[in-house]
């Protein structure tokens, strides 16, 4: 079997035309989806980039693989000690090679966050750029297409291709954003919500959209109104469109080789992106629906049927387990993923009853999601404004705007019970190590911006009251005030 895994950074399913988006952003991915299965409820177990791709490589949840943030405490990828490699928790890449597959990646991910474990187990590793994930799709394809032309007709390979274009900054040719100028933008967030967001003083908020003053024309300076929102959405959709154009080049190459219909495609993302949810724009900053709900498309020759739609809950680690099952290998006992091959084959399959997810880069949160409710417990809010407990009715409020925790204490109790059971299941095993979430809670989620850094930014922009509240919140009032002369 020839397998191609398209790993697309920061991609929201509801911005893909094959998921019903009214902009034709992904015609080439739509073509693949039409010939296979589209999953409506796939979620990354841990966000953002490092935790999610650590799950891709290990088949495990962040609580078990240990890399729950981007560096420092809480980002220690855990693997059994000794010279040999584990058979119970093997790297996905090494496990696949046991079935005779050549494993090949075109990705600069290992360099981006010093995630050296990502380099393990591949037959071929093509970083193809020293831009650490800031390369555009044309630069990726410049390396991938010659490989396909030389090796595409070989059998039994797993080719992993990573595209970054939907991730900020949007550095592709500007015309890909401009094509959407006359297209309407989704109703959320509306004008009143955007005006309410003007009061927010955290990073990636409507007013504080950027870390620095330099950004491309494909992005607005702030989100002051719906016009600015359209500017941002056009930039995001432009990145998706540019990426999809290069997926089309991959398909063209496969057609030239005469093997397009023989290739198994898996298309997914590490995480998605908030576009106004919880007041956060163009960022993957918490354990929300907007960040954790990811696309999943699988076209498997001889297995999937055209136009298949699967509605059950699955994790990204389940995808890795399913690929393993597809090639005839057992799913390792130490992996957290479960195969859903039966769903692809059209058999009886219901998916997971509920999911538990977490985030520990910008905030420390764990969430529980079932068919109706989305529960979030915040252990450390970082620089953001999140309530300790939140509950959202996903049937009535998909953008998570109204916290119903106080109105439904019995639901909160049930979701909290599920979370406690999940944590006990994973932390109660013999040999379990410290929960990496606890390490981040203790040291704080201060990776890209510290309290001092953000306090300085607030003062520079004239937000003295917000700066004082931030200093008081973390017990640093006297230190910070004296430091900056407040």
pLDDT of residue 426: 94
Nearest CA-CA partner of 216 in 171, 173, 166, 282: 171
Residue 151: count other Cβ atoms within 10 Å of its Cβ. Answer: 14
Mention every residue, 6+ apart, whose C-beta is less than 8 A from residue 156. 1, 2, 99, 100, 101, 102
pLDDT of residue 61: 97
C-alpha torsion angle, residues 249, 136, 68, 469 (rounded to 10): -140
Residue 420: count other Cβ atoms within 10 Å of its Cβ. Answer: 10
3-state secondary structure of 280: coil
pLDDT of residue 83: 82
419: phi then psi, degrees, rounded to nearest 5: -65, -45
- Please give the helix or strand (H or E) that residue 339 lies within, else none: none
How would you write 56-85 as a 3-class SS string?
Answer: HHHCCCHHHHCECCCCCCCECCCCCCCCCC
**Domain architecture of the chain: domains with CATH:** 2-350 (3.40.720.10), 356-431 (3.30.1120.10), 451-484 (no CATH)
336: phi then psi, degrees, rounded to nearest 5: -90, -15
pLDDT of residue 128: 87
Cα gap 325→409, rounded to integer Å? 41
Nearest CA-CA partner of 440 in 357, 363, 358: 363
Q: Report yes or no: 12 and 44 within 8 Å, Cβ to Cβ.
A: no
pLDDT of residue 209: 97
Cα gap 59→343, rounded to integer Å? 19
Helix, strand, coil % in the chain, rounded to nearest 5: 35, 15, 45
pTM: 0.96
Cα gap 173→150, rounded to integer Å? 29
pLDDT of residue 484: 45
Which residue shows structure tokens 């764990």? 366
pLDDT of residue 480: 54
CA distances from 53 to 107, 116, 331 (A): 12, 12, 18
Nearest CA-CA partner of 245 in 38, 33, 24, 36: 24
Tally the residues of the chain: 486
3-state secondary structure of 320: helix
**Would you give per-residue pLDDT tens digits along the chain (486 residues)?**
999 999 999 999 999 999 999 999 999 999 999 999 999 999 999 999 999 999 999 999 999 999 999 999 999 999 988 888 999 999 999 999 989 999 999 999 998 888 999 999 999 999 988 888 889 999 999 999 999 999 999 999 999 999 999 999 999 999 999 999 999 999 999 999 999 999 999 999 999 999 888 899 999 999 999 999 999 999 999 999 999 999 999 999 999 999 999 999 999 999 999 999 999 999 999 999 999 999 999 999 999 999 999 999 999 999 999 999 999 999 999 999 999 999 999 998 999 999 999 999 999 999 999 999 999 999 999 999 999 999 999 999 999 999 999 999 999 999 999 999 999 999 987 777 899 999 999 999 999 999 999 999 999 999 999 999 999 999 865 555 544 444
Cα three-residue angle 406-407-411, rounded to 5 degrees: 90
3-state secondary structure of 329: coil
């Amino acid at each position: 079997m020839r397998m191609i895994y398209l790993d697309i950074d920061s991609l929201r399913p509801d911005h893909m035309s094959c998921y019903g988006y009214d902009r034709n952003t992904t015609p080439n991915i739509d073509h693949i989806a039409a010939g296979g299965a589209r999953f409506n409820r796939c979620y990354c177990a841990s966000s953002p980039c490092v935790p999610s791709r650590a799950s891709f490589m290990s088949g495990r949840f962040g609580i078990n693989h240990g890399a729950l943030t981007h560096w420092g405490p809480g980002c220690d990828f855990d693997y059994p000690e000794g010279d040999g490699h584990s058979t119970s928790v093997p790297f996905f890449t090494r496990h696949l090679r046991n079935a005779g597959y050549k494993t090949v990646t075109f990705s600069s991910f290992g360099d981006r966050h010093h995630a050296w474990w990502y380099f393990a187990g591949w037959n071929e590793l093509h970083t193809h750029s020293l831009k650490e994930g800031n390369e555009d799709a044309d630069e990726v394809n410049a390396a991938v297409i010659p490989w396909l032309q030389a090796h595409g007709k070989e059998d039994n390979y797993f080719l992993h291709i990573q595209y970054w274009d939907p991730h900020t900054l949007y550095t592709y040719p500007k015309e890909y954003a401009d094509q959407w100028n006359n297209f309407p933008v989704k109703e959320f967030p509306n004008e009143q919500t955007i005006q309410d967001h003007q009061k927010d003083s955290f990073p990636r908020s409507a007013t504080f959209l950027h870390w620095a003053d330099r950004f491309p024309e494909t992005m607005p300076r702030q989100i002051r109104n719906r016009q600015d929102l359209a500017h941002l959405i056009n930039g995001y959709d432009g990145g998706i469109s540019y990426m999809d154009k290069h997926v089309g080049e991959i398909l063209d190459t496969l057609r030239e080789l005469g093997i397009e219909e023989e290739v198994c495609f898996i298309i997914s993302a590490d995480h998605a992106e908030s576009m106004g949810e919880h007041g956060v724009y163009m960022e993957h900053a918490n354990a929300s629906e907007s960040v954790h709900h990811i696309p999943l498309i699988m076209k498997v020759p001889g297995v999937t049927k055209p136009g298949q739609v699967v509605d059950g809950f699955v994790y990204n680690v389940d995808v890795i387990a399913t690929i393993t099952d597809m090639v005839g290998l057992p799913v390792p006992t130490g992996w957290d993923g479960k195969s859903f091959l039966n769903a692809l084959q059209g058999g009886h399959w219901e998916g997971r009853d509920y999911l538990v997810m977490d985030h520990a880069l910008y905030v420390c949160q764990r969430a529980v999601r079932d068919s109706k409710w989305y529960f979030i417990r915040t252990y450390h809010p970082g620089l953001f404004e999140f309530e300790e407990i939140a509950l959202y009715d996903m049937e009535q409020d998909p953008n998570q705007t109204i916290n119903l925790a106080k109105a439904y204490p019995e639901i909160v109790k049930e979701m909290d019970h599920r979370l406690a059971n999940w944590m006990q299941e994973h932390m109660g095993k013999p040999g379990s190590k410290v929960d990496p979430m606890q390490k981040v809670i203790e040291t704080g989620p201060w990776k890209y911006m510290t309290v001092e850094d953000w306090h300085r930014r607030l003062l520079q922009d004239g937000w003295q009251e917000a700066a004082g509240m931030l200093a008081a919140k973390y017990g640093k009032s006297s230190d910070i005030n004296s430091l900056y002369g407040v």
